[in-house]
Amino acid sequence: MMEEFIVRDFLGRIVTIYCGGIATFKGKVKECGNGFVRLEIVQGRYTSIAIDKIITITA
């Protein structure tokens, strides 16, 4: 359900994802599936975040 929400509302957009403490990630949502969201944080550099660790996502 969360994957569908992220794909529908945030795919291709620049977002900030907060996972608690100092864990904040900003980048363009490139894909979402298998329990992870993948962000392009800098051109050609990516990070993957487990969806169950996301507290907030904003665009």
26-55 burial, b for 16+ CB within 10 Å, e for fewer? ebbbeebeeeebbbeeeeeeeeebebeebe
Asked whether the beta carbons of 59 and 10 are under 8 A apart, the reply is yes
Q: Against a cut of 0.85, is the pTM above it?
A: yes
User: pLDDT tens across 12-54, in order?
Assistant: 999 999 999 999 999 999 999 999 999 999 888 999 999 999 9
State the DSSP H helix or E strand holding residue 45, giving kind and residue range, or none if neither: strand 45-50
How many other C-beta atoms lie within 10 A of the C-beta of residue 10?
19
